[in-house]
Structure 1
Amino acid sequence: MNAVQESGASSMLTDLWRRRTHLSHDEMVSIYNLVKSALRSYYPPELQALREDKEELIAQFIYSKVLRLEPGHTESHASDQSAPSSGYAVCAYFRRFLIDCLRSASNQRDVSMEAEGIGEQVDEHAHAVDDPVQSVLMQHGLDEARVRHLARQFIGGLDKYEQLVLAGTLGWCSGGKGGLFGIASRHHIPSYHYRAVKLGVTLKKSAHSEDFAQTKIGRWICNVLGIAISADNQNAILLVLSLLAAESCQSSA
């Protein structure tokens, strides 16, 4: 779908959503297909902990939350969500629906227990909903304990000067007088600026995400943690950098 078609589909979706309690049969079919299309390549982690398959959950979402056909819904309650202006907004609404389903399943135990460990998985996902750190990391198959462990391994693989550069920018002495220059002077770090660039704690003004991906920290995030260096993963990247900084402090304690 090109940009013009995508814009037209978004406009149509917004219009139909605003009139969703008064749609003709053909318009219902249209909004159904538009929502399905927006969710086609979207696989949030909550899907793994629910017994229904994705197609069934999408159908439930459209029936209950988009078209508002469940008993008890009235026109006065039909506008509790703003009309989505893009497929990304539809994905956000769908994930909110899945989180509600997950909480309900966790509270009522209306989840199949045939698969070994599914109960524990539901508890893990339900907990993650209320834990921002866990929620972000879980999208990449990670948890805080594992990231911290891998961070300690990464720090242990750096030479003493790189560890000091990391500490001077992200870690235990990052707030020290004189910043990185100050710690380089105090610890006699040779070529400290070059080391900082190679490590990834200092970037040139003209640098792009591809440049950061080629640094030691960038390669660790991408190759070891499995998080692609992109704007879409900014929250996860900032989070793992904060955990790396915390482990830098611990390693020098």
Structure 2
Amino acid sequence: MVAVPLPGRVPDCFMLHEIIITVNVDSANTPCYSHEYNVDSANMEVLMKILYIFDSDDTDRRDAGLVLTEWAKEHGHELVMRRAAELKPCLGCFGCWIRTPGKCVIPGDEGMAFVEAMYRADLVVLAGETPYGSFSVPIKTILDRAIPLLLPFFRKFRGEMHHVPRYTRLPRMLSLSFGDASEREDATHLDVMRSFCDNISCVRQKRVYRYRENRSEMLTWLGEELDA
């Protein structure tokens, strides 16, 4: 067994956890990676931190955010609302794995600010349209730029191969859908969202919910999801 230190330096905003990667060589001389975490529990917050990311300034996005804000205040949680900024698209260069581990190499935008906010959250709500069952461009760009939250190593999770999380504290993810869509598009979006949940090793979303300016209905959906 060989301890493999991660190259480079973890960004200051992510210093809560020390990650140790070990390599075991099986009978076929194939390296198998495993990981463990040393967690500084004294720095962990008690209340749930919620990050609400919305893809446009449309009134319904703001209204849904206010519903979540009121709910969070009633239950003693903390909520931060952030509009999906004009981020540059992911280069697919994997520099955040190799050159500057845990930190995106793209300069001049808020990409790492979103990564840090996602890391610090207990729950991330992605509020936007779901064209053809996928994500809107602003939301998809943020998810692509969140690769620094993962390691280049693989493990089996829920019967599939997925990247190892860089940090043990990753958030729950929920998609709050807006606009019209067919049942087929909603089914596709649920599959896409569940796959993303698997990618970051969090609890899967149970069902698609489309915001219809109904506070009670929305909070019922939220309660069902968080009860998982």
For Structure 1 versus Structure 2, the TM-score category normalised by the shorter chain is under 0.3
Higher strand share: 2
In our comparison, the structure showing a higher alpha carbon Rg is 1
Provide TM-score, normalisation by structure 1. 0.20
Higher helix share: 1
